[in-house]
Structures are given as C-alpha cells and as structure tokens.
Amino acid sequence: MNQDKEFLGTQPIGKLLLKLAIPTVIAQLVNMLYNIVDRIYIGHIPGEGSLALTGVGVCMPIIMIVSAFACLVSAGAAPRASIAMGKGDHESAEKILGGCVTLQIMISLALTIVILIWNRDLLLLFGASENTISYATSYMSLYALGTIFVQMTLGLNAFITAQGFAKDGMMTVLIGAVINIILDPIFIFALHMGVRGAALATILSQACSCIWCIYFLLGKKTLLRIRKANLRSGLPLMPACVALGLSAFIMQSTESIISMCFNSSLLKYGGDVAVGAMTILTSVMQFAMLPLQGVAQGAQPITSYNFGAKNSARVKKSFQLLLITSLTYSVILWICVQAFPQIFAGMFTNDASLLAFSAKALRIYCGALFMMGIQIACQMTFVSTGNAVCSIIVAIMRKFVLLIPLIYILPHFLADKTMAVYTAEPIADILAVTFTIILFTVQFKKALKNLGQA
C-alpha cells in the first residue's frame, strides 16, 4: 500500500478531522436543502401554501424510509470497507463496494413497487387528513419514481467519503442541490406544477448526483473501484455490513414511525395546525442533526481505518475531537433556537397563526438539543469500530423504549395536551443520552484495551 493510501493512519488527527469534516458538514448542510427547499417554496404557494406544506410534510416518513434503506446497507458497508483498508485487505474492501451496489439496486426496485401500489394508504397512516391527502399523493407518486437515484446516491457517496475523499463526496451533494434549487421555482411556480413540480425537481437533481457518484467510483482517482466481478461476489459480505448498518437504519426508519405517532397524536389534540408545525419542527431538527452527522462522518474514516490498523491512540484521539466538536455545535445551536425560534419557524411559513404556534412548540421540542452532540459522537464511534450490537441498542433505546411511549403518556399528565406531545422529545433525549454515556464508557474502554493486546 502506498503513502497516498495510508494518510488516514499517518496524518495528524486534528488536521485530518478538519480536512474531512468541513466538506462533509457542507455536504450535509447542502443535502438538507433537498429536504427543506421544497418545503420553503411549497409553504409560500399563494392561497394553499399551509395545506400543501402539511401534505408534503406527511410524505417525509416515507422519504425517511427510503433513505433508511440506503443507510441499512451503506452505513455499515462503508465503515467495514474502511476497516478492511486499515488492515491492508483492499480486495475485501472492493468486494464490499460491489455487493453494496447490487443490494442497493435490489432494494430500490422493491421500494418503488411498494410505494407506487400503497401510496395513498401509507400517507393516511402517517397522518394525512382529507384536506391534505391530495397534496401528499401528488408529491409522493412522482417522488417514488426516483427511488433508485436516492438509494444509489446515498449508498455510493458513503464509499467516497469513507476513503477520505470528503471534497468529492461534497460535490455529489452540491451538484444535486444546486440543480434542485434552480428547478424548484421553475417547476413549482413558472410551470404551475405545484407540489408535483417540487417532486420532479428533487428526483432529477438526485439523478445527476447518482451519475456523478458512479463516474467517480469508476474513475482513476478512487482507491475503491466498482468492478463487474464484485457485483455478485461481494453479496456474501453484505450480512455483516447490514448488521452494522442496522443502527443507522433504526435511527432513520423509526423517524417514520415517530412521525406517524407524533402526527396522529397532534391531529387528535391540535388539528392540522399542530401537524403543520411538526413539519417545521422536524425541518429545524434536521438543520441541527445533519451538520452533526457531517462531523461524525468526517471522523468515521479516521476511526475505522485506525481501528483496523490496531492504533488505539489514534482511535481514542479521533473520538475525543469528535465529541468536543459535536458538543460545541449542539450547544451553540440550542442557544440560537431558544433565543430566536420565530426566525427558524419563519423560514417555512408566512402564515401568522402557524408561525406563532410553531415558535412556541420549537422551544419545547428542541429543549435538550444541547446534549445531542454526545449522542451522535458515541453512536458513530460504535459504528466506526464495528460494534453493531451497541449501536443498535442505543438507537432502539432512544426511539422505541423512550420516545414512542412518552408521546402517548405525557398528554395524560400535562394540561396542554398538544404541547405535552412535543415535550416527549426532550425528555426522551435526556434519558437516552444518559444511558448512552454509561454504555459507551464501558464498551469503549474495553475496545481500546483489546486493541492494545492485539
């Protein structure tokens, strides 16, 4: 292996994290535009913006499931490939990439069929009302056709960043986002396509990102290359990758279940306004979480490579820098949200009643945001070191064990039942982070000790 391939194990950790994290954070912020630019434009459609925004909001659980299946494969496969590279096993790393491509295509086709057949039923299940279902089905029926582009872009880009090519990974997202921003107003307003125009802009932009990913992974710069022989021979390596990616899948797919629980409860206690506010709240939370995930993804190749190379000192330092950076960001953003909630809510609506309601709910919903830097740093390090079991445990604890029950329990104990539903989020976060800190402290010490003995 030449020096170019060893930079993850030789360059200073701080310099590496800065080099890899800045492009991945930018990529995550730009990627967020895929999710929120549509909603910003839709929310300002004259005369029907509020209902259209709510209708597209209930599509988000299904969109999250599509993204979650991409993570199921790539979020485990990319770290496994980095670990294999750290061990000097380049052949296995390329087989993992090949198997990932094949599995992503198979999953994409299956998801497309399911969404096209059960589109309306799923949207009603996730909180669409008779007032918003027409907007939701218009958006989702078209978006479903681009499922394969979403899957392949998310899946393949993980391998670009896992090799340490963070700037090229950023380009994947930047290409799609710029095209999306340009096409959105043209399709939505100029061509009068409304929510269908937003969906069309999204899938065309994702298609361009997908083409870029494939071009890069077939080119000369990449260390891991897509090879025809590995498309089938890499499939036996996928179960271990899927096991490691299961925590990321749980984190994202349960967002869909969480959205269903939130939306059904909010529709019961607060009506369409409360559900519309939830769309704004989740958008702001994405604004918080995506940069955190970008920093964590920047640290992942460093941690995984050095874990594979059995360099415990660099693994430990990588985590420490990730924790400090993530925690600093989450505290600063928490302060901004608590101080200026109306500014964040105002990005998505000019409806006075929805804006006022959302600003109040936002302070409650993001009440424990300052702690999320700890959660992200610990969970990503579990994944980066190949600890599938613990990464799954912390994902299940926060979502299933804590948040879902609290959504239904708290309205029975608090006077304002609608705000009680939003309060479930910060309480679950506080309890989950406490649990994660305890588990991580024990398991990380054990992992470092095992590396030192190897």
Digit-coded pLDDT (tens) for 205-240: 999 999 999 999 999 999 999 999 999 999 999 999
Q: Does 125 map to a domain? A: yes
**Amino acid occupying residue 250:** I
Q: Does 420 map to a domain? A: yes
Q: Does 37 map to a domain? A: yes
Mean pLDDT of 402-431: 94
Q: Give residue 3's pLDDT.
A: 42
**159 pLDDT exceeds 70?**
yes
Under 8 Å CB-to-CB from 118, ≥6 apart: which residues? none
Q: Give residue 34's pLDDT.
A: 63
Tokens representing 115 are: 């969404």
CA angle 66, 67, 73 (to 5 degrees): 100
- Express each pLDDT in 350-387 by its tens digit: 788 888 899 999 999 999 999 999 999 999 999 899 89
Q: Does 295 map to a domain? A: yes
Rounded to whole angstroms, the Cα distance separating 155 from 148 reads: 10
Cα-based distances in Å from 166 to 160, 199, 212, 301, 353: 7, 28, 14, 10, 42
The total of structural domains in the chain comes to 1
What's the pLDDT band for 391 if we cut at 50, 70, 90? Answer: confident
Domain that holds residue 134: 11-453
Q: Give residue 354's pLDDT.
A: 86
**293 pLDDT exceeds 90?**
no
Of residues 406 and 1, which shows the higher confidence score? 406
CA angle 329, 383, 100 (to 5 degrees): 115
Determine contact, residues 144/119, Cβ cutoff 8 Å.
yes
Mean pLDDT of 268-296: 83
Tokens representing 241 are: 């990758």
Answer positive or negative: Cα dihedral of 276, 279, 284, 288: positive
Q: Which has the closest alpha carbon to 418: 260, 259, 268, 280?
A: 268
Q: Does 4 map to a domain? A: no
Determine what percent of the chain is predicted with pLDDT higher than 90: 50
Rounded to whole angstroms, the Cα distance separating 337 from 358 reads: 12
Q: Does 2 map to a domain? A: no
**99 pLDDT exceeds 90?**
yes
Q: Does 3 map to a domain? A: no
| CB-CB neighbours of 313 under 10 Å | 12
Q: Which has the closest alpha carbon to 352: 267, 420, 273, 282?
A: 273
Of residues 394 and 453, which shows the higher confidence score? 394
Determine contact, residues 98/86, Cβ cutoff 8 Å.
no
Cα-based distances in Å from 377 to 93, 299, 328: 25, 9, 12
